[in-house]
Structure 1
Amino acid sequence: MDGSAVSYERNLECLVRAIQELSLARDLDRIAEIVRSAARELVGADGATFVLRDGDRCFYKDEDAISPLWKGLRFPMETCISGWAMLNREPAVIEDIYQDPRIPHDAYRPTFVKSLVMVPIRSMAPVGAIGTYWATPRLANVREVGLLQALADSTSVAMENVQLYNELEQRVIARTQELVAANRLLYDEACERERVEQDIQRFSMTDELTGLHNRLGFLRHAAESLETSRQRDTPCLLLHLQVESNDSGPAENLPLVAARMLRAQFRRDDLIARLGGGEFLVLTTGYGDPHAVLQRLRAGLGAFNRAAEQSLTLRIGHAESSRGQDLEQLLQEADNALHRAGPGWSSD
């Protein structure tokens, strides 16, 4: 195998390597880096440049050369050899730049360039060009131009892949943002539904007038409290109260006044419920002697009447859970005790 054949084989290996690297490129900067180095190596050039079409101008994006060329500059398509290659969709092979009318000589005088080859990137509607330059006069042969054009064709594919990759990435980002927004909306809707359900449940267990538990709310919470007390071996005291007033004021004020009085007499952890009118239930634990509780309640009622200038009376029925009764049995005992109670008590 002669030297030229060995050299051509090496050039093919360089081209294959460049094509493989281009297939993995994910941005334009990486493509430019691969192309500028591969182009110079393929034909043994003293410089190579990667040019992009930017509207009606040529943008010299990157270069690899023995001295600076035009990196970062833009030139009109009609006055630039890279523009000529793109507009005519064919390579420009120039042995002596100063003998070719297509070359803007003033732009080349400050450079080392004497000969060049410029090939378009993509034959149909070129998007750029690859240029190689020599410091001494040299006419590139058909093989060299073919290698550069093959590199340019692979570069076109790589640029399209990058565009597709970027579009796909943007779609993924947009879709991810849509999913995040949808998930946030679903989460907000779920939270709102839960809040509404909690409100509905709370309203269904709350006396609208006084804000105390109603019968349903009392039954639910009292059953839980009774079970907890049973596990801790702590007795509960259930009070069934009938509050009345000797005042001649509006009857609708009685439940509010009675609720205010009961809140003042019992602890925050005690369950207080209004069944209707002036009828209330109270469940308390850790109360001590039940008769002492009743006495304190009566004393508190008297103090409340004097302070609030009210004349509330109170009938009390009570039941203790010390015998292991369930809630229904306690309610029945307290209700029976209320019916056996005498006239309402108002003061001590």
Structure 2
Amino acid sequence: MNQNSVSNEKLLEIIKVQTEVAQQGMDLGNIMDLVTHRTKLITNADGASVELIEKKELVYSAASGMAKRFLGLRLGIENSLSGECMEKRIPLISNDIEIDDRVNKAACRQIGLNSMIVMPLICMNDVVGVLKVLSAKANHFNDDDIKVLELMSGLIAAEMFNAMKNGESELFYKATHDNLTGISNRSLFYDKLRQKLSQASRKQEEFGIITLDMDGLKEINDNYGHRAGDAAIKEVALRISSALRERDTVSRLGGDEFGIIVENVMDRDELKSFIQRIDFEITKPFEFEGHKINLRASIGYALFKEDGIELEVLIERADKSMYEVKRERKGHGNVR
């Protein structure tokens, strides 16, 4: 098989992706998100993911399509097609998971896939993860798709090489932390949330989820420029962090949105007191290059067990709570 087996249209798409990747700089998280989205489209798949090695597990560190809601999912390397492709260092295809004994059938059924290609990600001669495309249909992929995947995996591998300064732990850190603020990103937030849900269910613990959306970021960008907007995002991340305890987790989920996991919350009133503390810190005076900038955020929450026990339900409840606050502020003209 050679590059000529890939259509000119797909080659042009890959070149476009290369350009977009170059524009991302050293933000490995954004690069992986971009590649999974474009890989899904180019192979006409239903989903795509980048799985990175963390200890003896593979973590869904970027995902698109049908795989998106499994961001942060951890799977064992052993007894899986991903594990075999890493061991053999070659791409592998499964066009019907129900008759393929190499795959983790339970995990495939959980995601809803029936065919897939897995491609090892090799950086500095070490396999550090897997690029995967997924389809809900059997017999969806062919050899041309493998060639496309090889070209796409090279984009990630090149950035991994740039990020890989102190071994795999450095790579995993760069892939799971926000480039602007330095706090954890969406991938690590969902990874930690899945682990917390499992732990809380086993140990009968309580915890809370807070979702936070900055108010008025567009106006800050319009009035003072994007450097001011970036400074405001960084300051909000710093102020949230200062309001939390060491065992709590704050993550930038994207744009002006943050997610917080609050450990060992006894009840709704305690969670509300955390929100009041965060709100107090955020709204303190802030100046950037001589300009006084108002910082404010709409904050919502959900309490494990009381508001739900499943990840999607808790996130939906917290988001709904947050948007209710935002709508109320808009109604009173208080969003700045």
**Global fold match (TM > 0.5):** no
Given the two structures, how large is their TM-score scaled by the length of structure 2? Answer: 0.44
Larger Rg: 1
